[in-house]
Amino acid sequence: MERRILEFAGILRRNGVRVSTAETLDAFRGIRLTGLSDRYALKDTLRAAMVKRSVDLPTYDRLFDSFFSGLSDLLKELAAPTAEAMGESELQDFLENLENIVDSMDPGMSELARALVLMDHGELERMLRELIDSGQARPATGMSTAAATRAAVEALGAGEVTNETGRLLEAAQQAGMSEQQVQDLKDYLNQRTRDLGEMIKGLLELENQQEHQVEQQAKEFNRLLEKSFYYLSPTEIRQMREAIAALARRLRNAMAIRRKRAKRGRLDVKKTLRLSMEFGGVPFRIRYDVRRREKPQVLILCDISDSVRNVSRFMLQFVHNLQDMYSRVRSFVFVADLAEVTGLFKENDIQTAIQSAVTGDVVNVYAHSDFGRAFRIFHRDHLSAVDKRTTVIILGDARNNYNAPNAWVLQDIKAKARQVIWLNPENRSTWGFGDSEMSLYSDHCDMVEECRNLKQLYAVVDHLVLDS
């Protein structure tokens, strides 16, 4: 079952639900307490462990039902004809009498045979899921469906069920059942034996379908890696939430590594060598310089003008995830005017915050782009927020509509900041042509990178991690 829970956690992440390793471990602990026999208890247990935001509940419910209900629905579907033929009340009496006979058998029936004849769907589902987890319900490469079914039957121990149902018929005769009742029981047991074969076939089909879905999701993700942000649909942007969140975590971790190293200070070579003289030059005592607590912060300026609107939606997801995970992030959006959206992102879910930012609730998104004006506003109102611990990230195409570029603002920011990074969604070959001021702005940046798709954004973040 552990493998299934890990697969389910991965599916949740790919659909934007944040599930950490700690939360997955909590799910394992919860399952050990509640067991697997009750599907509703399993759903509630996983939800309590894995879902922390109310906005994710509809997504969780939909994915849980899709991932876990297939086998349960199959068992109910196979049992339905028998239940309808007898009627609910008659079936209940029949199963109670049958259970008394099963309990009197010596030796008793196996767990599989007992669950099958008594229609214990919870126990059947548990055993079939264990078969899945063992890997024996997964056909080997080139194995036919019939061969895979026989292998699964053998692994489940279903080959002995026919013999056990024969012993049950003998026990029923000894218990005083009439010939007609014994014949009815024989027909019932034959049907349940056939149902078991259908269960195993259906199980293999479900497993193949889910594996195919995983493969398709991997192919889809690889396709999206290289698709330009300009052409991503809203649905595709939502599909990439987990990749965006992973990038945000990676960048946050890079900053955390830098802070952790700073706690101890740098190696003081002179003091270390001086102290090593009494040991013949062997540095038994390492000395560090004065300890320093560094609290790095990130400050992000995102262009949301019409020419990069779709790119902005994607980048703002990145900004929102980074801000959600790391408290020292301040976020700004601009077209011609500039406004801070840090509070907006903290107080709202990701889609509400982004929709508000790009539809004119924060700044006039219908104005012509004016990087120079936006930079000047930032210099006037927010330059004091920049210091030697600040990484400034600018997301935009640098298309300034021939307005004053005010590159001196970037020069002042660079003089105060730890580093200035510019990510441009346009092809590098177009920089500096027409109304692009990229060649001018790049002189005042520590890093300037083309960032038109997720693959390039991964490369940028990896570069930052290595530099840390």
pLDDT attached to residue 466 = 59
pLDDT attached to residue 173 = 85
pLDDT attached to residue 268 = 76
pLDDT attached to residue 413 = 96
pLDDT attached to residue 335 = 94
284-321 pLDDT, tens per residue? Answer: 777 776 555 455 688 999 999 988 877 888 888 888 87
146-165 pLDDT, tens per residue? Answer: 777 777 777 777 777 888 88
Q: Are residues 123 and 69 in the same domain?
A: yes
- 221 Cβ neighbours under 8 A, 6+ residues apart: 14, 239, 240, 243
Residue 387 lies in a domain: yes
pLDDT attached to residue 159 = 72
Residue 149 lies in a domain: yes
Residue 229 lies in a domain: no
Phi and psi angles of residue 35, each rounded to the nearest 5 degrees, phi first: 80, -175
Q: In what order do the strands lie in the sheet with 338-340?
A: 338-340, 329-334, 297-303, 390-395, 419-424, 447-450
Q: Are residues 219 and 342 in the same domain?
A: no
Q: Are residues 111 and 140 in the same domain?
A: yes
Residue 456 lies in a domain: yes
Q: Are residues 219 and 302 in the same domain?
A: no
Please measure the distance between the N-terminal and C-terminal CA atoms of the chain and give it in whole angstroms. Answer: 39
pLDDT attached to residue 440 = 95
Domain boundary among 200, 223, 246: 223
pLDDT attached to residue 254 = 59
pLDDT attached to residue 219 = 79
Q: Are residues 248 and 128 in the same domain?
A: no
User: What parts of the chain have a pLDDT lower than 50?
Assistant: 257, 259, 261-262, 293
Q: Are residues 27 and 81 in the same domain?
A: yes
Residue 61 lies in a domain: yes
Q: What's 456's domain CATH number? A: 3.40.50.410
Q: Record the pTM.
A: 0.56
Q: Are residues 89 and 116 in the same domain?
A: yes
Instruction: Quote the domain boundaries for residue 327.
Output: 236-262+296-467
pLDDT attached to residue 392 = 93
Q: Are residues 457 and 423 in the same domain?
A: yes
Please calculate the CA angle 78-81-86 and round it to the nearest 5 degrees: 130
Residue 278 lies in a domain: no
pLDDT attached to residue 135 = 66
Phi and psi angles of residue 391, each rounded to the nearest 5 degrees, phi first: -100, 120
